[in-house]
Amino acid sequence: MTKKWFRIGLLGIFILSLALRFWGLERFNTLVFDEVYFAKFGNNYLTHTPFFNAHPPLSQYMIGIGIWLGSHIPFWHDTVNGLTGSMRSPWTYRWFNALTGSFIPLVVAAIAYQLSYRRSFALLAGLFTACDGLFLVESRYALSNIYIVIFGLLGHWFLLLALDKQNRRRSFWLVFAGIAFGASVGTKWNGLWFLSGAYLIWIVAWIIQGTHSFANAKLFFKSPSLEEAEGRRQEPGARSQESGARRQESGARSQDSEAVASPRASAEFRGKEVGISTYSPPFIPSPSSESPLQNLTQLNIFQMLFYLGIIPAFIYSIIWIPHLQLDKTYGFIAVHQQILKFHLHLGGNSSDVHPYCAAWYKWPLMIRPMAYYYQTAESITEPLPVMGPPLPAGAGQVIYDVHAMGNPFLWWFGVAAMLFLVGMLVSQAVMPWVKEKRFLVPATLSIDTWIGLYLVINYAANLAPWVKVTRCVFIYHYMCAVVFVFLAIAWFVDQCLRSYYQQLRALGVTITFIILAAFIFWMPIYLGLPLSPDGYKLRMWFNSWI
């Protein structure tokens, strides 16, 4: 794929995201779901109204900036309401989120490209992200989760850019990474998991290098059977030592020239030279170029603590200044104590607390999505209902439903791809022991192995902390983790499409088609389009989705 077509593809993805997020943005002239908090809070900053915020304030600043800018644009003010505390058009408190959310597919594509330098992988990652329903819904309303995700992803992208640079240019991108991670935490505390993922992959890189150095010193763990076999080989080997030396000398010269000729041969030659296994399962391409993640060990502990410790903490702290100047009820420490107290007293994670409570293990398979808006009307010609309960059962002939629900097949295929990556990594660790009866470390890791490590570690970093959370949580808390699922299925499909086997290429095309078709099929409940009762039931495949 040429650079020109790559850029055209990225532009097409951005235009698709932009169009879907801005279409009919003001249709529901009311506050949808948590807009009752975040849109009001954003307006409170403009009217200088003190209030308690149960989250860090950055996303409400962004919404407030959007309201201020939108109120100075002489368009899209046909409908207004006073639900935020001032007379505002729904467009003014939603458009900035829509614009921000439109960039998320591009950032995901940028991360994919920076991980692999494969344009096809990057385009697939961006396209799949643009075809997710939960991200589409969250972008169309004045909610906060879009900002956690985009700042966290920007932190990772900047970190990858930094690893690809040297000296001052590296420091430049590391500073931006620290700022982005601090902004993610400054939106909601769970933005911290993006930063923890960066630390974990850094630690793993050092462990791999340490293990490699350990193996390089020829401190192998050998099985007794292998030691006996080597002992038996040494006796006859002594008798032919002289002739073997001559063959070895000529073979080394030939091997050296082959190593220079191709990167793969070079990797294998280095592996044999230090006694390290270069075993790689057949579905893992041999290393042909380096991944920026291989440079993680060029960052020492002091750089990590400064750029990804002190800078994020500093950014997080200054984010609070405008809020604390507005609401002087609590100081910096006291307000954090109050926020923690608020979340600890939200109640257990059951439907008794909230009908849409969904524990973490329900998220990957999308067992319990939630309705952000649900109203009924007698006919499609009636004005859009915005207030009051739905009509009695059987009376409403038209249903308007905005469902915070992902693209089912994108999520399900993505989980399968993530499990495939886990299996790939485990097989790479186990198979050398099974085949050669000793613990061996590859001389170099392939790009796909680094991608697998990066995706699995960051997915776990953003999901695992929720295991211990006892308060009521919802499916939107999965957004920080599911972006790595999108990257996983994009990687898998890209591998299929690049395969020599026709069946695998057909599989990649089929998966892509199903994801796109599913997005179109469920789009009415993402955009709140009018549906008949039968059309609504057709899209609610499980009772737990309603």
| Residue range 445-503, pLDDT digits in tens | 889 999 999 999 999 999 999 999 988 999 999 999 999 999 999 999 999 999 999 99
The answer to whether 522 touches 408, Cβ cutoff 8 Å, is yes
Q: In this structure, what token pair is assigned to residue 75?
A: 């368009």
**3-state DSSP assignment of residue 227:** helix
Sign of CA dihedral 523, 529, 534, 536: positive
pLDDT above 90 covers a percentage of the chain that reads 71
Q: How confident is the model at residue 385 (pLDDT cuts 50, 70, 90)?
A: confident
Q: Is 370 helix (H, G, I), strand (E, B) or coil?
A: strand
- Contact between 101 and 63 under an 8 Å Cβ cutoff? The reply is no
Dist CA 256 CA 283 (whole Å): 27
Distance CA 363, CA 384 (A): 31
Task: Report residue 440's pLDDT band, with 50, 70 and 90 as the boundaries.
Answer: low
What pLDDT is stored for residue 445 in this prediction? 83
| pLDDT given at position 252 | 43
pLDDT at 225 over 80: no
pLDDT higher than threshold 70 for residue 228: no
In the prediction, which pLDDT does 490 show? 98
Residue with tokens 């960052």: 299
Tell me the Cα Rg of the chain: 27
Both tokens assigned to 16: 């698709």
Strand spans (E) along 69-167: none
- CA nearest 50: which of 322, 245, 412, 303? 322
First to last CA, the chain: 43
Residues 518, 408 contacting (CB under 8 angstroms): yes
Entry pTM: 0.86
- Strands (E) across 287-361 are located at none
Residue 303 and residue 441: Cα distance in Å, rounded? 27
Q: Is the pLDDT of residue 390 over 80?
A: no
Q: Helices 119-130 and 479-497, interaxial angle, to 10°?
A: 130
- pLDDT at position 76 over 90: no
Q: Which residue has the higher pLDDT, 261 or 134?
A: 134
Average pLDDT estimate for 128-151:
97
Contacts of 276 (CB under 8 A, 6+ apart): 212, 215, 216, 270, 440, 441, 442, 443
Contact call for residues 57 and 187 (beta carbons, < 8 A): no
Residue 380 has pLDDT above 80, yes or no: yes
Q: How far is CA 498 from the centre of its chain?
A: 23
Predicted confidence band at 71 (pLDDT cuts at 50, 70, 90)? very high
CA 403 vs. chain centroid, Å, equals 21
pLDDT in tens, 36-48: 999 999 999 999 9
* pLDDT band, very low/low/confident/very high, at 255 (cuts 50, 70, 90): very low
